[in-house]
Structure 1
């Protein structure tokens, strides 16, 4: 029986420390907004701990008085009305009132525009079932499932959705913001220093919800500028016959009907259903954070995406072995 409290203590410690580890650790903020949210968490945790301690003290006091009565000792009388009104009404109301006021102040600080600078970098993020479309309207760049921002700069992110409600959340950089069909919401991101931060859809949106993640990479300003220049540059011709053959397979197999790539000629209104693949070769993951981006996983994804991510709109593609290998080479060359 003595092992039970020890087990419960360990389980509670694991529960409370779960937010401290992993790629989405909310208690390791890397931006002013995330720091304010973490501060709110610690305030709520501190008050909850204080209330718990007070309750345990009162409980211990009551148990002690009961033991005294069992031994025939008169513990004296306690004014029950004072305990009920003080501990059951006045103190809880004061704690809740303080938390409400403090939470509203934090929310106002976090979600208000940081300044009136009209030259902020603007990024448009569209949540689809179940992937992320990312657009840079000032640079005419479109990508997917990865967001690149300059470190040390405030970036305005406009979010929406064409299908169901999603929620955009990068715990180390900011709080959550809903992506509602027919409405544009905005959030301000700022990374204090270069780094890689994982984001996640935080609103249940269907069978693929748990497999709808993305990455935010904060770069030094010169590297971000170089990335913009590289993406805006015309796509080079395939430098190798196998890559050229892979591009032909991409077109012949109908991949271009959903996916756009730089350098692949597309008829009007095609290539707008699925993620833009123009820089697919440099992405870290496949299918919005579902699998590491390597040749084996990519081949399995192309052949049978529903086995890997049920609910995805991408159909399976039956390709001969040589055609599949050429297509993999082409996709991995896209940077």
Structure 2
């Protein structure tokens, strides 16, 4: 039987894979295409998929021809699979597009076949890898400490709040990234303590100097953690504090959820006072409102401390706002913005 023109033209499959997925974990259609192909080509000698393809019996040729040669190879109904490189094969795809648009060449069937997909959150792996390299190679980043970075965490948190209050979605996305950077940066610094500890523990020697170095290594490793430890901690916390989602309890209202949260949090913390865990360094109105919330949540009837002056007046206002469900910091910022606008009007702007 003579091949139809469509069959005679053959097929070119551009196989793409994600570097964020473990090599060898390919979709079934990808494996089918690889095993059925007449030729499998890859221009990248160190492509992470190659050892697994060869182990699966797929013969991979280490070249990718120019577009016209690839089209000619498909003549007679043959199928060629091109395993795309991590940077993409722009020259080849542009060449194929040019040939297809010329109208002078009988083109094979062209197919883009994703062999593996990124899972939600996969780009976080890129952030971790980029942070690793910056920490190792950047003269500024390599010298930073938790203490030196602390001010940036505060700045980024305030910028995030401002983006939220302004309703700017693009700015919100960017500021969330800046806050996330702080988390990854601190975790990367903390992980170096773990590496130092391991190095110290692995050192061998029978002299006093070697023993001292080993002890220093242990101290460096004490309390060290990685970004995975950070993520694991918040995952465990969220699961434990949502028994109505991950357990047998039920919650039909936001109030039920808050009750679950507060109860499980109290079980975890085992605090002697409701004031424990309230950062005293936060802005004054927020601090007053947080203390008032803790006291009210514990059913404590706490009289206002006796005192005179603006501080005690602000304390009373902050506690009143908290009782009414108003964030005093947000309310004051809103009023301050209105005052800023009034200043601009007075300036004739």
TM-score, with normalisation over the residues of structure 2? Answer: 0.18
Higher relative contact order (CA 8 A, sep 6+): 1
Rg: which structure is higher?
Answer: 2
Between Structure 1 and Structure 2, the one with more helix by share is: 2
Between Structure 1 and Structure 2, the one with more strand by share is: 1
TM-score, with normalisation over the residues of structure 1? Answer: 0.19
